Structure 1
Amino acid sequence: MSEETKHVYRLQGLSCANCAAKFEKNIRDIQTVEDVQLNFGASKVAVFGDASVEQLEAAGAFDGIKVYPEREKLIEEKVPFWQKRENKNTIASLFFLIFGYIAAFSSGENSPVTITIFALSILIGGFDLFKVGLKNLVRFEFDMKTLMTVAIIGAAIIGEWGEGAVVVFLFALSEALEGYSMDKARQSIRSLMDIAPDTALIKRGNQEFEVAVEDIQVGDIMVIKPGQKVAMDGEVITGHSSINQAAITGESIPVQKETGDEVFAGSLNEEGFLEVRVTKLAGDTTIAKIIHLVEEAQAERAPSQAFVDRFAKYYTPAIMGIALLVAVLPPLFIGGDWSEWIYRGLAVLVVGCPCALVISTPVAIVTAIGNAAKNGVLIKGGIHLEETGRLKVIAFDKTGTLTEGKPEVTDIASLSEITENELLSIAAALETFSQHPLASAILRKAAVEKAAAYTADDFQSLTGKGAKAVIDGTLYYIGSPKLFEDMRPISEPLQKQITALQSEGKTVMLIGTEDEVKGYVAVADQVRKSSLSIIQKLQKLGIEKTVMLTGDNKATGASIGRKLGLTDVKAELMPEDKLNAIKSLRTQHGHVAMIGDGINDAPALASASVGIAMGGAGTDTALETADVALMADDLEKLPYTIALSRKTLQVIKQNIAFAFGLKLLALLLIIPGWLTLWMAVFADVGSTLIVVLNSMRLMKTKYN
């Protein structure tokens, strides 16, 4: 299969999981089609090969499926639920059903008038059902509509016209509710698609033009006025403003943006005037990638869904067999009444309809993934959603995850005649040419303290130890205690100070000449303010073990571990050591998550049961490599994600248990004749409705 022959289409009217399977099969039967990938959750289909829109719509004509090219902007008509054609038929069927029972009460059940009214109810409500069911019967394809068609025709043959009409109405109602529920579940994707505007104001020379986003090129200058939404990803080149990017990252507080900062399509410019250089095409923006990944995630079958699909494949033929045995064996072997036992066989067909069972998992998965996306969490598939719900251990990278990832100077001490401000000036001059994060901390501190600007000559980096340079004719060194130990022994009082600072999680850099240590600067990566409360929330959720994996020294790791109440700290780790630590945790505990920035520690993220990346917005690597991406650059959404995943697992288990349990109970009640045909359908509709409503509860799961 070649990507060149791949054509993606959006679908309207794809109402049920069985219809989706049949639609996929019909497309596969088109001779010019090589392969088909149908995404029921996102209501999309990818076709490999040649097939026109007309051919695809013909393949879905049995369910009234409409097909549109993926890039085509759909303007959906907001048709009220009760005004849809199929639902109007259901209402009309109900009216004839009521009149039929009135006629039966006044004229008798077997009068021509009563039978005619019930027959009209059956034909109006079941026309679409019979069209598909009879075709399936001729081809020996057994799905829910085939079961229902056989049951209704059987009911009419044995004179149960009223029951047949009730079966038609309840089945039509069940189909309408299933379609409505999937439509509600898919709304999360539609709301994402509507976030970014279709046009943007583009500045060319001194003129401004309104341009469709598809025609905007990388490098174009976009003008964004106060109150307007950003149409494309880009970099601010003029102006400053607060931007509400909740739609992308889930952050409720607007973020200040100024020259050089990145802005995302779909975010809202609140107060300032901005000029932004476009950095990505419309199809490559962060919101476009989120929509694509959410749709792909909803297509991926979760383990529980795969189990249900396999089970349903054998379940329907088994129900047909059981119904046949119930209808035939008692009259043949124990002298039972044929009419009575055929009726019970039909009831078995009706109650065996696997509608609730088939929809039990996908509606929950689609709803949960959509809810998460709206809250700034990208879960890339049902399998990852389920795995997140089973987590027992969470391993954190330290820098930029539990900490700010931006070291700050915490202590400055002079050990000689020079002042602390002079010491800071010398340190800043030595670090001017260094790329190390600790160097930037010293330079920021020097700027804040307005330290004198010295010039460093003959700068030389001493790999892994520090740096040296000539300042005002004197050769100065800056670096780790090890650098100075190699030149001359460090005094005991100073060694005690260094050890004390290191035990607080600080990195100590000494400054001096070959003959004397002039002083030191201590730098620490600050723990995020939210980290402690997040760890506590995770422990309340039942996470058994929280582990920090860091390349820092053991004293620094232990200090942060104590502050945050972590259960374990593994320090002085190289990337391969982190990978081995994750493998060891998986061996001991089974379900383990690794959380990092999605760029570093890739092997450890890949090896974990669930790899969770932070700061997914604007980070292509995080979006592509992680199983779960927290779009904002903090851990605030982690407890919500685990709570949502666990609730989804519970809902799926409840759905499967309820749908299967109710079927089993109904089948047992049919054998002694305690369950009538219409009660069997009512049980099926009821179970479908309960499964749908139970899954819809996931929409209400909110981030706190």
Structure 2
Amino acid sequence: MEAEQSAEKNVYRVQGFTCAGCAGKFERNVKELDGVTDAKVNFGAAKLTVMGTASIKEIEKAGAFEHLKILPEKGAVETPAEPFIKKHGALLASIGFIAFGYYSLFAYGEESLPSILAFLVAIIIGGYSLFLTGFKNLMRLEFDMRTLMTIAVIGAAIIGEWSEGAVVVILFAISEALESYSMDRARRSIRSLMEIAPKTALIRRNGLESLISVDDIEVGDLMIVKPGQKIAMDGRVIKGFSSVNQAPITGESMPAEKSPGADVFAGTLNEEGFLEVEVTKLAEDTAISKIIHLVEEAQAERAPSQAFVDKFAKYYTPAIMAVALLVAVLPPLFLGGAWETWIYQGLAVLVVGCPCALVISTPVSIVTAIGNAARNGVLIKGGIYLEELGSIKAVAFDKTGTLTKGTPAVTDFEVLAGGRSEDEFFTKIAALENKSQHPLASAVLKKARDYNLPFESPVVEDFTSVTGKGLKGKVDGEWIYVGNASLFEESGKLDSKWTERMHSLQREGKTVMLAGTDKGPLALLAAADEVRESSIRVIDQLKELGISKTVMLTGDHAATAEAVGRQLGVSDIKADLLPEDKLTAVKDVQQSYGKTAMVGDGVNDAPALAAASVGIAMGGAGTDTALETADVALMGDDLKKLPFAIDLSRRTLVIIKQNIAFALGLKLIALLLVIPGWLTLWIAIFADMGATLLVTANGLRLLRVKEKRDR
């Protein structure tokens, strides 16, 4: 029975988090519940994972100190936002009492009963939840920021600093509200993804069409998508033609053409045509669902800098309490200072030493950056990979399907004899290739379609595939031959002008075919795996970013690799590689240049992806292998996202370092004011709140980082 309980896993969404420290305390409280074997809070995504059998009511009780609301992950609905006055009513009332207190102070004097009562009421109303948690923590000897604030405010009241105690409470409440708002804004970048897919779809079953909830749609159902509608489920087009805006999933700026056989994804927009789509995945398995899940998991992964901050904060808080105690006690005991003055200074040290800004400095940056990357078609699977990506010195690329399109295309067609029209003769070649299953046949047919040649019109008879040589057949009564040199060598009509031109094209890494009649060759075709339009620009952008080494890895022979490499401008080329050779090559680059990223298709490049500092998959939307094997996935098969991801990661590293420096620097400056005795509770709370607001605002700047598009 115990084993069954420990195996039960439940995931909930949490509403009401105000700070990272409070999330940590909530996690500890849930772990202590009966029936719970483990619990993990994902502060970035506002989620809780519980291993065990605790009820929602019990979990909410564990979060009662912060009035948390718990909702099941599946089917969780965002509750309507509370009106500002209701949500912040206590805060507004406290501000009103503080205003009245200062009026009374100036009207009746500093020690007047009306002013003291007004400040006391402001402290009680504005700090009720703060004190409740602070006292409980004090009883358990848990010293978080609420404990420190509680001690400071009570101390201020004891020594008669009523006005400053009240202002400290209000400023702390404002600081927490702003921190909560900042984190909610960062989380909205992912919540907005959840909202892009419709909750219902028009489904045709047994000839009848009806609107059905996506949770009730089954694999194999026929989904009807009208022009201008969003697609609710992943599926395959059965009927219709349209262009679909896939930007929410892949980050592509241009709509993708869809015809029968093409895959479509939930959350994308059908722009112009009528589509009938066969559903291929359940709601929880769609590309958008996987992206959201992986991004939220990524936001929970602690980056190295965050782990450092957490460890530092563990020792920082007790150290601040010790310093505050020494400040309060040593000057009166040994230097003749006034107890009231130095106790006040000690209380101010407690306030300025609150670790709030330090604790929030890293997660707000990580959450914001990962969310922004996902919205722009880059899936980064954890803070650790975000930081690693920002530190890379070299990038290794698989060639086929990464730097190139992965499919052959006709690059050259030359009629060198016979006086034939190029279009007329190419039409006959395409008519013959239309009967073939050879990989190069598709390249010839694509070229014919691009030029609107009527290759389906000619009558093809006696079609024959000559093993190892090529094709032959009668096209409109004329024998046409297409193949390699050996197909024509037997006729003895293959002179040097043909072989010289063939060798010239082969040195460019192209596959060369001859075409002719029974009288000999008339034309020459060359095909090659085309370089992606974006690849050359991407290599240039990486150089602009300071990437010192770009290496192309391929299993192709050296001539082809050299030709493609020269066109791309990569700094090194390694050819004739097996998958295990690619692994060795990546390790060699790492040894020479340091942290290295490997970009591949996520299947045959898996060993090299795993060995690299960061494995980056050209993962077309919904490609499970790419999502699972790589640390980073470029969702639209779009290499242009790579410079954006590296730039975003580098900016994140800079901002994290800035945030840690801001958080500690402001506090250090405030603490130095203790030496001349100038530190006040006002300055202390402004230093703490200022640092918190500064690091959150600085972290949110990462939402503005966008991909640089060519003009």
Q: By the TM > 0.5 criterion, same fold?
A: yes
| Residue from 22, 25, 28 that aligns with 1:25 | 28
Q: Deviations over 1:307-364 (max 9, x none)?
A: 1011111111111111112222222233332222211111111111001000001011
Higher mean alpha-carbon deviation, 492-501 vs 410-419, is at: 410-419
C-alpha distance in 2 between matches for 1:355 and 1:50: 32
Question: What is residue 575 of structure 1 aligned with on the other side?
Answer: 579
- Cα distance, 1:426 vs. partner? 7.2
Are the structure 2 counterparts of residues 116 and 405 from structure 1 closer, same or farther at C-alpha, using a change threshold of 3 Å?
A: same
Question: What is residue 246 of structure 2 aligned with on the other side?
Answer: 245
Question: What is residue 37 of structure 1 aligned with on the other side?
Answer: 40
Are the structure 2 counterparts of residues 521 and 262 from structure 1 closer, same or farther at C-alpha, using a change threshold of 3 Å?
A: same
TM alignment of 1:241-640, pairs within 5 A: 241-412=242-413, 434=437, 436=439, 438-445=440-447, 449-450=453-454, 454=460, 466=468, 478=483, 494-509=498-513, 520-640=524-644
- Cα distance, 1:163 vs. partner? 1.4
Q: Deviations over 1:626-672 (max 9, x none)?
A: 21112112222222222211111111111001101111121121232
Higher mean alpha-carbon deviation, 561-570 vs 261-270, is at: 561-570
TM alignment of 1:60-139, pairs within 5 A: 60-80=63-83, 82-85=84-87, 87-139=88-140
C-alpha distance in 2 between matches for 1:563 and 1:489: 34
Q: Secondary structure at the match of 1:124?
A: helix
RMSD: 3.0
Question: What is residue 171 of structure 1 aligned with on the other side?
Answer: 172
Are the structure 2 counterparts of residues 456 and 665 from structure 1 closer, same or farther at C-alpha, using a change threshold of 3 Å?
A: farther
C-alpha distance in 1 between matches for 2:656 and 2:275: 47
Asked whether the equivalents of residues 373 and 379 of structure 2 are also in contact (C-alpha less than 8 Å), the reply is: yes
C-alpha distance in 2 between matches for 1:450 and 1:366: 55
Give the percent of matched residue pairs that are identical in Structure 1 and Structure 2.
60
- Cα distance, 1:423 vs. partner? 9.1
Alignment partner of 1:13 is 2:16: yes
Asked whether the equivalents of residues 430 and 467 of structure 1 are also in contact (C-alpha less than 8 Å), the reply is: no
- Cα distance, 1:493 vs. partner? 5.1
Letter in 2 for 1:630: L
Question: What is residue 655 of structure 1 aligned with on the other side?
Answer: 659
Q: Secondary structure at the match of 1:670?
A: coil
Q: Structure 2 length as normaliser, TM-score?
A: 0.91
Q: Secondary structure at the match of 2:673?
A: helix
- Cα distance, 1:487 vs. partner? 14
Letter in 2 for 1:69: P
Are the structure 2 counterparts of residues 238 and 470 from structure 1 closer, same or farther at C-alpha, using a change threshold of 3 Å?
A: closer
TM alignment of 1:684-695, pairs within 5 A: 684-695=688-699
Are the structure 2 counterparts of residues 338 and 572 from structure 1 closer, same or farther at C-alpha, using a change threshold of 3 Å?
A: same
Question: What is residue 697 of structure 1 aligned with on the other side?
Answer: 701
Alignment partner of 1:145 is 2:146: yes
Q: Deviations over 1:37-58 (max 9, x none)?
A: 2110000011001010000000
Q: Secondary structure at the match of 2:599?
A: strand
- Cα distance, 1:199 vs. partner? 0.5
Letter in 1 for 2:26: F
Are the structure 2 counterparts of residues 483 and 630 from structure 1 closer, same or farther at C-alpha, using a change threshold of 3 Å?
A: farther
Q: Secondary structure at the match of 1:67?
A: strand
Letter in 2 for 1:50: T
- Cα distance, 1:299 vs. partner? 0.7
Higher mean alpha-carbon deviation, 44-53 vs 603-612, is at: 603-612
Asked whether the equivalents of residues 424 and 442 of structure 1 are also in contact (C-alpha less than 8 Å), the reply is: no
- Cα distance, 1:413 vs. partner? 5.6
Asked whether the equivalents of residues 430 and 478 of structure 1 are also in contact (C-alpha less than 8 Å), the reply is: no
Asked whether the equivalents of residues 432 and 443 of structure 1 are also in contact (C-alpha less than 8 Å), the reply is: no
C-alpha distance in 2 between matches for 1:588 and 1:487: 54
Question: What is residue 211 of structure 1 aligned with on the other side?
Answer: 212
Letter in 2 for 1:400: G
Question: What is residue 644 of structure 1 aligned with on the other side?
Answer: 648
Asked whether the equivalents of residues 456 and 469 of structure 1 are also in contact (C-alpha less than 8 Å), the reply is: no
- Cα distance, 1:74 vs. partner? 0.4
Higher mean alpha-carbon deviation, 127-136 vs 657-666, is at: 657-666
Asked whether the equivalents of residues 644 and 701 of structure 1 are also in contact (C-alpha less than 8 Å), the reply is: yes
Q: Structure 1 length as normaliser, TM-score?
A: 0.92
Are the structure 2 counterparts of residues 116 and 488 from structure 1 closer, same or farther at C-alpha, using a change threshold of 3 Å?
A: farther
Asked whether the equivalents of residues 482 and 513 of structure 2 are also in contact (C-alpha less than 8 Å), the reply is: no
C-alpha distance in 2 between matches for 1:484 and 1:325: 97
- Cα distance, 1:427 vs. partner? 9.0
Letter in 1 for 2:683: M
Higher mean alpha-carbon deviation, 104-113 vs 123-132, is at: 104-113
Letter in 2 for 1:195: I
Letter in 1 for 2:589: L
Higher mean alpha-carbon deviation, 172-181 vs 388-397, is at: 388-397
Number of residues of Structure 1 aligned to a counterpart in Structure 2? 696
Which consecutive unaligned segments of at least 5 residues does structure 2 have? none
Higher mean alpha-carbon deviation, 569-578 vs 212-221, is at: 569-578
Letter in 2 for 1:120: V
Asked whether the equivalents of residues 426 and 471 of structure 1 are also in contact (C-alpha less than 8 Å), the reply is: no
Higher mean alpha-carbon deviation, 68-77 vs 125-134, is at: 68-77
